[in-house]
Structure 1
Amino acid sequence: MPKSKSIWVPLASVVAITITIAPAAAQQKPNIVVMLADNLGYGELGVYGGGILRGAPTPRIDALASEGMRLLNFNVEAQCTPSRSALLTGRFAIRSGTYEVPIGGTPDGLTQWEITTAELLSGRGYATGMWGKWHLGSAEDRMPTNQGFDEWYGIPRTYDEAMWPSLDETKSMWPSVGNRQGWNAKVVHPEHIYEARKGDQPRQVAVLDVDHRRTMDAEITSRAVEFIKRNASSGKPFYAYVPFAHVHMPTLPNLEFAGRTGNGDWADCLAEMDYRTGQILDAIKQAGIENDTLVIFASDNGPEATNPWEGDNGPWRGTYFTAMEGSLRAPFIIRWPGKVPAGRISNEIVHIVDIFTTLARVGGAEVPTDRPIDGVDQLDFFLGKQEASNREGFPAYVADRLSAVKWRNWKVHLIWQETMYATPQKLALPRIINLLTDRKEERDVGAQNSWVADPAVRIIGELEASFKRYPPIKLGTPDPYTPPEPGLMRTRP
């Protein structure tokens, strides 16, 4: 399959993809496990140059990489909500009104019109489960069990809210704030941990506080393992989406791991995450389904930027909430024994939206044809049938700001921002970086390479043309959402 020169997939191309996907449905459906670390930077894992350099070896994840394929140029969106939206819908978050972390006051998350991976695979007979942070809607009708998942345990928003009910000097290291001491739930309600089954009302089971933050990954893993064993025993194909809590701030280990490395909380959390990953891999092996299970381990974002929980961006520059490589590049490992070549490493560009389209093909599902799908099918690339990715580049948004464009080994910056706390600066002229010779993005080589602007502008033009035909959903859009023509209101699978 030739390289795609377009980032947005036109309607005709989507139809073509559905034609190629359909025959896979006749084959045995593999199980799919997607483990998603939270804000795990490029330089954290041993296999990416971290591990013991970050205070804790990561033997289980490193071994997983040796058993499958490791990407050096896997790209995500700049914030948690946009990345998770892109992963589950195959659409850049700017299209779905999910382009920034919600603050409150308006409907947040995905409209029910969006179609998730869980819905596609559920429609093909898969059991679907999720455990962990959703961050794509805190109203009950937008929670995971109303977006294709059969079961869910986790939080609707994010883990830094664990500090809210812990703002009590008698219980926590964090000081009280304002002119009154302690937490006042009447001012802002704390976030709850939920348990839900499809068709039932989500149930609040606990308040997310610092103590529960410490135990989240143990609980997430335990429930995911039980789901894997249960469905392996029944012979039903399954899709397990496992977004871990680590290493999102506050980066606090389970008490069983506290002090284990001797290198502080952050290293203890890295050790725990490696252990939890191993528990899930062990469950797959013990169930006898290793060869029938596609496993992905990835991160949703670049590293944390807030003291004392800063992460590591490896050889790159910047943190999440920017368009720097330290924000965009994240770890990615895929294993499928006997199908994905073991030990393969690639610097070809893959974007998180591609996972949606690829998993659709794996599960024998058809991608939607009534909306633009930005993800491209990367299965043949992952299987080693071709050396090149089916993607050459993509637009990089930070919130609703088109900040950069990546194309091959080039980066064209339109807005310059090095860290999430830096002020974005609109550039008078684009800044062109050769990522092969300048991993820290320090030298503008636009004077010698102004030609790079041409493919970058083409990517922008195609995206803007698609916006005219399919207007993006506005942030805070309530349900029911009906797209303007030519989009059509879909029937949920």
Structure 2
Amino acid sequence: MSEGLYLPEDSPDVVNAKVDFDPIDRFLWASQRFAGTFNRSELFAPGGYLTDWWTEEAIEAIEANKNRPFFMYVGHWAPHTPLQATKADYEAVGDIKPHRLRVYAAMIRALDRSVGQILDKLEAEGLADNTIVMFTSDNGGAGYVGLPEVNAPYRGWKLSLFEGGVRVPMMMRWPAGLPAGRVVETPVTHIDLFRTIANATGTTLPEAEIDGVDLLPIAKGSGPLERENDAIFWQSGGYWAVRAGDWKFQIDQKQGKRWLFNLAVDPTEQKNLIDKRPGTAERLQALLESHHKGRKLLYPASTLMPVMIDKTLAEQYEEGDELIFWPN
């Protein structure tokens, strides 16, 4: 686990990009250190640029466990702020403007290198064929880094439930169990991964306690994905969303704002059909209310922050700009 920085701010090998319009970024630079912990140990200095060091640790874990089944989760911090890259990666990505975008690109380069090195290690140890590798992200790119094209062409950012905030890569590699090159357009969600891994490993789960569906049939092409009401749900405090088929409904209860989009014809969520399709909106809102019935928040928010949907934090809010309220 890291403490925040990828390298010391004054390291001769680092290129920094401070985001002066983001108060959280200013807090990170002021409070975080280049440090790690292991199993609640005392803080210690990681053995190099954080993304590369975590990769080395992952490779060592593969080496140590190559003769028995293992599960490994590599949850890279990159490219989260604070934006820091190695000078080598910064030079390798070319003359990109502005400076923070070049640093961001260099951080992605390090992340890409990490994936390649981990896959190479699996190949070298003869483990690749019967190892399931899943690559995904917890959310879309953040608006608070001030990079307007980071989620293009989709609207919204991390913190929002628009497609720019929730549409992320999901790739699976399992040469012994899945066909290569298969592309699946059906949307899935991270809660599906637990059941998928359990089924792939022959583990029995208690039906009443585990959400999600098994992705192996659609990944293999052997059957459809069967999900109740074909519905995927998101929640961030009182900001809720559901996608059922091609229809996506969002409600921000703080401001009483609702959005309805047909993603089949409007994947970038430009045309709010909330007034034109009231029956569809009511059906999806009923799904949301049923989903939330009897549930309670385990960690209530202490703040509500306005987040612009169509502008980054580097831009100024103007009357009429659409917002969501994000709890934290």
Using the size of structure 2 for normalisation, the TM-score is: 0.75
Which residue of 186, 196, 221 corresponds with 2:55? 221
Counterpart for residue 440 of structure 1: 268
Distance 1:403 1:173, change over 3 A: closer
Corresponding residue SS for 2:89? coil
Distance 1:285 1:393, change over 3 A: same
- Residues 89-108 of structure 1 show CA distances to partners (whole Å, capped at 9, x for unaligned) of xxxxxxxxxxxxxxxxxxxx
- Structure 1 unaligned residues grouped into runs of 5+: 1-153, 177-182, 417-423, 477-493
What code does the residue aligned with 1:251 have? L
Distance 1:366 1:462, change over 3 A: farther
Matches within 5 A, 1:21-170: 154-155=1-2, 159=4, 162=5
CA distance in 2, matches of 1:353, 1:374: 6
**Are the counterparts in 2 of residues 412 and 456 from structure 1 also a CA contact under 8 Å?**
yes
Distance 1:191 1:415, change over 3 A: farther
Counterpart for residue 290 of structure 2: 462
Distance 1:245 1:455, change over 3 A: same
What code does the residue aligned with 1:280 have? I
Which residue of 24, 28, 45 corresponds with 1:206? 45
Higher relative contact order, structure no. (Cα contacts within 8 Å, ≥ 6 residues apart): 1
**Are the counterparts in 2 of residues 259 and 265 from structure 1 also a CA contact under 8 Å?**
no
- Residues 12-35 of structure 1 show CA distances to partners (whole Å, capped at 9, x for unaligned) of xxxxxxxxxxxxxxxxxxxxxxxx
**Are the counterparts in 2 of residues 251 and 309 from structure 1 also a CA contact under 8 Å?**
no
- Residues 248-298 of structure 1 show CA distances to partners (whole Å, capped at 9, x for unaligned) of 122322333221111322222222221111000000100101111000011
- Residues 177-226 of structure 1 show CA distances to partners (whole Å, capped at 9, x for unaligned) of xxxxxx9x9x9685841123xxxx5232138xxxx8x7011111001011
Distance 1:413 1:405, change over 3 A: same
- Structure 2 unaligned residues grouped into runs of 5+: 21-26, 97-101, 302-328
1:240 aligned to 2:77? no
Counterpart for residue 211 of structure 2: 374
Distance 1:356 1:449, change over 3 A: same
What code does the residue aligned with 2:159 have? F
Number of corresponding residues: 283
Corresponding residue SS for 2:243? strand
**Are the counterparts in 1 of residues 155 and 164 from structure 2 also a CA contact under 8 Å?**
yes
Using the size of structure 1 for normalisation, the TM-score is: 0.51
- Residues 226-252 of structure 1 show CA distances to partners (whole Å, capped at 9, x for unaligned) of 1112211xx210111011222112232
Distance 1:175 1:464, change over 3 A: closer
Corresponding residue SS for 2:165? helix
Corresponding residue SS for 2:210? coil
**Are the counterparts in 2 of residues 317 and 325 from structure 1 also a CA contact under 8 Å?**
yes
Cα deviation, residue 408, structure 1: 0.9
Counterpart for residue 38 of structure 1: none
- Residues 431-479 of structure 1 show CA distances to partners (whole Å, capped at 9, x for unaligned) of 3211111122121223443332354134223323342xxx543449xxx
Cα deviation, residue 360, structure 1: 1.8
**Are the counterparts in 2 of residues 353 and 375 from structure 1 also a CA contact under 8 Å?**
yes
Which residue of 130, 134, 139 corresponds with 1:301? 139
**Are the counterparts in 1 of residues 142 and 159 from structure 2 also a CA contact under 8 Å?**
no
Distance 1:401 1:284, change over 3 A: same
CA distance in 1, matches of 2:174, 2:232: 27
Distance 1:455 1:205, change over 3 A: same
**Are the counterparts in 2 of residues 405 and 412 from structure 1 also a CA contact under 8 Å?**
yes
Corresponding residue SS for 1:396? strand
Cα deviation, residue 394, structure 1: 2.2
Cα deviation, residue 393, structure 1: 1.7
Identity %: 24
Which residue of 173, 192, 205 corresponds with 1:354? 192
CA distance in 2, matches of 1:219, 1:367: 35
CA distance in 1, matches of 2:211, 2:286: 15
Corresponding residue SS for 2:136? strand
CA RMSD of superposed structures (Å)? 3.3
Counterpart for residue 38 of structure 2: 195
- Residues 318-349 of structure 1 show CA distances to partners (whole Å, capped at 9, x for unaligned) of 10101111101111111111322221112212
